[in-house]
Structure 1
Amino acid sequence: MKLNEELSRIAKEYPDKAAFIYHNEETSYREFESQVERFASGLKKLGYQKGDHIALISWNSPLYVVAFYGLLRMGAVIIPVKPILTANEIKYILKDGNVKAVITANEILGSFAEIAEQLLAVNHYIISGTDIPLVDDHLSSKVKLFSQVIEEGSLEFEATYLDEEDTSLILYTSGTTGKPKGTMLSYQNLYVNARSTADYLAFNRYDRVISVLPMVHVFSIGASFCGPLLKGATLLIMDKFSPTEVFHIAKEHQATIFAGVPTMYNYLLQTAKKHPAYQDNFSRIRLCLSGGAAIPLAILNEFESTFHVTITEGYGLSEVAPVAYNPVDCPPKPGSIGKSVPQIECKVVDPAGKEVMTGEVGELIVKGPAVMKGYYQLPEETAKALQDGWLHTGDLVRMDENGYYYIMDRIKDVIIVGGYNVFPREVEEVLNEHPQVVEAAVVGVPHEEKGEVTMGFVAVNGVVTEETLIDFCKKSLAKFKVPDRIEFLDELPKNATGKVIKKDLVAMGMERRGSVEKVV
């Protein structure tokens, strides 16, 4: 609701300013506003109305940006879906989310060939491009071009009344445990996310933001999509992440802000090590934002010294974002996710729900206008997560005397070795300090005597042995925290947002160690 009101205001105030640039083609705020209006009108002419569930399945692109705002304007409930999912994974979300239409990229349409007949509720597939590709008759009869919908719309679209508590978005979790859950966000949730991020991080209309985080991700909505647009900034849209392309765009378009996940920072750093000339391409960057997972301190420190720019860490999740950021008016605390942002109240509690002392570890619970409405059609799951208005995040943190929070680990990821708690992140930080280690992850695997033992997985640059890395860990960690075994991979398995998929590593670890070997 308010996002669209702000877009209309900025389009009147700065009509000729570039809202976004994609493949060197600029779209002004005036053009952007017109396309949004026409697309909303075109959807209404197709028979869609307020409350209809419409899926948006695309890489970052002008289609995504225009469709997202157009759907909000006509009051549809947006269901963003990661385009890298398999056909069966997409089918599950579309069925569970009661989707009536799909907006997608031309090249993705073929994925629906095998599942379209099972999606009887889907009336249209609205695609990018200028031609409808050859697909079977059942599918082709439902296909419309995105450009057609815009052309058939008008600028006299009558705005739909929307309450700020109406559902605007259903974000499906990555499904790291069980089936994905649909996180329902209201118009207020969405606006608070974007506004809090933009205000707290002091975005402005002169900023040029590299928008490479997948727009399906809640971190992107605030940091590199809706948040910057609220301030009249320009998005430099990248459909997919490529370190060399990021450097090219940063230099070519004089980017001022980069938002990424730790994996992206690692790839940028490794690329710049091989090609030192790229270090100058970030010379205009004034702000680097990191979220989605904790960034290893070794990578953070080396990146900052290489590019002479500070990385500001923050924290949020699909259910509420942002929760915390390091303030931009003072140096961030390395390893900290910062302080809670305005309007967000945080507590650190023990398993009984009692607040712990400063410096002690407990679960982070959150309250405020950014907290989700609940999980779609899952009242029991909603009741577990939301208790007396407080969202239980499942993340273990500690808070220092200055109000800065430090993520220790997910509750479910804590490893219990012979009765002692091991936080995987602590072991990962040590492994990442080794000069040959490019990335590292640590998981717990079953053990017949100790319950669990730690197992490390690393990707390395150069030659290093398992024994060397274990000895390296012994210098900094208590014996029960040292990895029982370390496996070498070319690359750690990750989801669409670059987060390591630890359940895959657990399965791999159990298979490789026979799950019950005796520790020497």
Structure 2
Amino acid sequence: MNVSSRLSETAGQYGEKPAYYFEGQAVSYRQLDGMVSQFAANLQVMGIEKGDHVALLLGNSPYFVIGMYGALRAGATVIPVNPIYTPAEIGYILSNGDVKGVIALDLLLPMFEQMDAQLPGLEHIIFCETPPSENKQFNIEDASIRTKMKSFTSLLSAGSSIFSPPKLDEEDLAVILYTSGTTGKPKGAMLTHKNIYSNASDVAAYLKMNDQDKVVATLPMFHVFCLTVSLNAPLMNGASLIIVPRFSPKEVFRLIKEYQATVFAGVPTMYNFMLQYENGLQEDVESLRLCISGGASMPVALLKGFEQKFKVVISEGYGLSEASPVTCFNPLDRPRKAGSIGMNILNVENKVVNELGEEVPPNQVGELIAKGPNIMRGYYKMPEETAHTIRDGWLYTGDLARMDEEGYFYIVDRKKDMIIVGGYNVYPREVEEVYYNHPEITEAAVLGIPDPEQGEAVLCYIVTTNPNLTAESLIEYGKGQLAKYKVPSVIEFLDELPKNTTGKILRRALKEQVAERSRL
């Protein structure tokens, strides 16, 4: 079983029930399943075969849902990519991921024209039409690109309607999720059909999702949190999605009330914006039976403030791309513990271990590791990274945690250097590499600093040979190399970075400076 074939089963059971609502329109399960098969059939006609890699560069929309399920049904491996990444970031993923076809917004067509020579393996560009705008003035002159281009709409309205599904095994590769790596290059977590299906199924069972639920899908669909919790899990159980193209408190409150939504999933930043939104009322969200938080640790004060104002309970969980992603959730049938990421979900085991891999007693801090049918096969084309991360079937998360006497887990500290900006992971080394490429910079060190809106912001310490270099110019430099949320919001200059006797930069000393400053 896989999520795409499961969609067909759900369509057989709930044919005329809305599978999703988007911009005021409802689409039934029967309609969605038909479009998925039509799209899969035309992918086959184009030459997309079992095992080929197809990237999605899309925001939240029916394009994403149909594109992902259609590619999976055709036997392709799907690679979701954040469409606001820079061309350099996108180019690396498409090249490293051996992508044969992309499904992307038409606004990105000029970028593909520029990158054509860098991507010799890219044979198909399926573009998704966006509404006309003044900013959409482009003309694709490259004949090579034009021959690769096909309209998403045309693949649904014409061409073959005869679909011969390939035989898929649960161990076949379904999705590759690229997650920023500590080496400065993203790593592709390889998730099988079994990984994806089992986690969606177990999460749905744990959260008691059913055909009466209406789930708000406002998290980015290209992110594994939304992919499993707000997309796959609901569609496996006959629930209806409320697809939100982009998050805004006003729109989320309106849609929850209009559709009487029952489940909302978000990152802490979203909850903070909703709490601060003056026009948000308790009556707007009274239909919700469950609020889910993940992507970053939620401050207890925020959790309690939100629950007190809106009279709903937030269930915090934990996951990572390498685990498809969920390993823990606060249970619904017993007390929720503020500050805890919850307990083992169905069929997944977590434990806290010391440096020797031995489980430690309750309330002792160690590394959180996980095991289950949801754990990735490994990192794409990175055997050494895979061997380091997966040992004896256990996924070593790199997060420090503790478990209490009742089996509730608590994250004590994040991965050593990771920064989380609005729910997105930013690894310092990736940002540092960009600034080390600047001809007038000799050293760079990146840290996270508290930010009232995004949770954290990026701070970059710089040592330069040019005393006239400005923070403003370096922030602009970063914007040309990095996705918006990765760009430092603060640049500070030092004569030198603190180091130990071997020359290694002492991040601890820099962090202590930041912590001391925040206390003043």
Give the TM-score category using the shorter length: 0.7 to 0.9
The yes-or-no answer on 1:266 pairing with 2:272 is: yes
Matches within 5 A, 1:124-273: 124-129=124-129, 134-137=139-142, 138-175=144-181, 178-271=184-277
Which of 493, 500, 505 matches 1:511?
493
Gaps of 5+ in 1: 415-423, 426-440, 444-451, 462-492
TM-score, normalised to structure 1, is 0.80
For 1:60 and 1:209, the matched residues in 2 are separated by: 14
1:457 aligned partner? 450
How far apart are residue 248 of structure 1 and its match? 1.2
Instruction: Find the residue that maps to 2:326 and give its secondary structure.
Output: strand
1:405 aligned partner? 409
For 1:69 and 1:76, the matched residues in 2 are separated by: 10
The yes-or-no answer on 1:347 pairing with 2:340 is: no
Matches within 5 A, 1:118-129: 118-129=118-129
Q: Is the 8 A contact 1:258 1:289 kept in 2?
A: yes
For 2:270 and 2:54, the matched residues in 1 are separated by: 30
Q: Percent identity?
A: 46
Which of 322, 326, 330 matches 2:330?
326
For 1:406 and 1:63, the matched residues in 2 are separated by: 37
Q: Is the 8 A contact 1:326 1:332 kept in 2?
A: yes
Q: How many residues are paired up?
A: 448
Distance change >3 Å, CA 52–CA 158, structure 1 → 2: same
1:281 aligned partner? 284
Instruction: Find the residue that maps to 2:10 and give its secondary structure.
Output: helix
Q: What letter is aligned with 1:9?
A: E
Q: What letter is aligned with 2:335?
A: P
2:305 aligned partner? 302
Q: What letter is aligned with 2:251?
A: E
Distance change >3 Å, CA 70–CA 198, structure 1 → 2: same
For 1:457 and 1:161, the matched residues in 2 are separated by: 50
1:99 aligned partner? 99
Distance change >3 Å, CA 175–CA 382, structure 1 → 2: closer
How far apart are residue 330 of structure 1 and its match? 2.3
Q: Is the 8 A contact 1:208 1:257 kept in 2?
A: yes
Q: Is the 8 A contact 1:195 1:222 kept in 2?
A: no
How far apart are residue 108 of structure 1 and its match? 2.7
Q: Is the 8 A contact 2:273 2:453 kept in 1?
A: no
Distance change >3 Å, CA 297–CA 167, structure 1 → 2: same
Q: What letter is aligned with 2:306?
A: F
Q: Is the 8 A contact 2:281 2:310 kept in 1?
A: no
Q: Is the 8 A contact 1:196 1:322 kept in 2?
A: no
The yes-or-no answer on 1:380 pairing with 2:380 is: no
1:63 aligned partner? 63
Q: Is the 8 A contact 1:54 1:76 kept in 2?
A: yes
1:316 aligned partner? 319
1:360 aligned partner? 364
How far apart are residue 394 of structure 1 and its match? 0.3
For 2:397 and 2:448, the matched residues in 1 are separated by: 25
How far apart are residue 47 of structure 1 and its match? 1.1
For 1:140 and 1:126, the matched residues in 2 are separated by: 11
1:436 aligned partner? none
Cα offsets for 1:432-476 (capped at 9, x unmatched): xxxxxxxxx9x9xxxxxxxx9x98534389xxxxxxxxxxxxxxx
How far apart are residue 135 of structure 1 and its match? 1.6
Q: What letter is aligned with 1:34?
A: G
Distance change >3 Å, CA 346–CA 455, structure 1 → 2: closer
Cα offsets for 1:491-513 (capped at 9, x unmatched): xx99xxx9986x958xx476379
For 1:145 and 1:123, the matched residues in 2 are separated by: 14
TM-score, normalised to structure 2, is 0.80
Q: Is the 8 A contact 2:342 2:409 kept in 1?
A: yes
For 2:43 and 2:448, the matched residues in 1 are separated by: 52
Distance change >3 Å, CA 408–CA 52, structure 1 → 2: same
1:79 aligned partner? 79
How far apart are residue 413 of structure 1 and its match? 3.8
Q: Is the 8 A contact 1:34 1:155 kept in 2?
A: no
For 1:240 and 1:42, the matched residues in 2 are separated by: 29
Instruction: Find the residue that maps to 1:285 and give its secondary structure.
Output: coil
For 2:314 and 2:240, the matched residues in 1 are separated by: 21
1:392 aligned partner? 396
Distance change >3 Å, CA 54–CA 270, structure 1 → 2: same
Worse-matched range after superposition: 71-80 or 151-160: 151-160
Instruction: Find the residue that maps to 1:165 and give its secondary structure.
Output: coil
Q: What letter is aligned with 1:185?
A: L
How far apart are residue 240 of structure 1 and its match? 1.3
Higher relative contact order (CA 8 A, sep 6+): 2
Instruction: Find the residue that maps to 2:99 and give its secondary structure.
Output: coil
For 1:146 and 1:456, the matched residues in 2 are separated by: 42
Cα offsets for 1:164-185 (capped at 9, x unmatched): 0010010000346510000000
How far apart are residue 136 of structure 1 and its match? 2.3
Q: Is the 8 A contact 2:42 2:161 kept in 1?
A: no
For 1:197 and 1:224, the matched residues in 2 are separated by: 10
Q: Is the 8 A contact 1:198 1:222 kept in 2?
A: no
2:2 aligned partner? 2
How far apart are residue 109 of structure 1 and its match? 2.4
For 2:39 and 2:321, the matched residues in 1 are separated by: 27
2:468 aligned partner? none
How far apart are residue 9 of structure 1 and its match? 1.4
Matches within 5 A, 1:7-18: 7-18=7-18
Distance change >3 Å, CA 456–CA 29, structure 1 → 2: closer
How far apart are residue 288 of structure 1 and its match? 0.3
Q: What letter is aligned with 1:310?
A: V
Distance change >3 Å, CA 92–CA 15, structure 1 → 2: same
Instruction: Find the residue that maps to 1:100 and give its secondary structure.
Output: strand
Instruction: Find the residue that maps to 1:4 and give its secondary structure.
Output: helix
For 1:334 and 1:401, the matched residues in 2 are separated by: 16
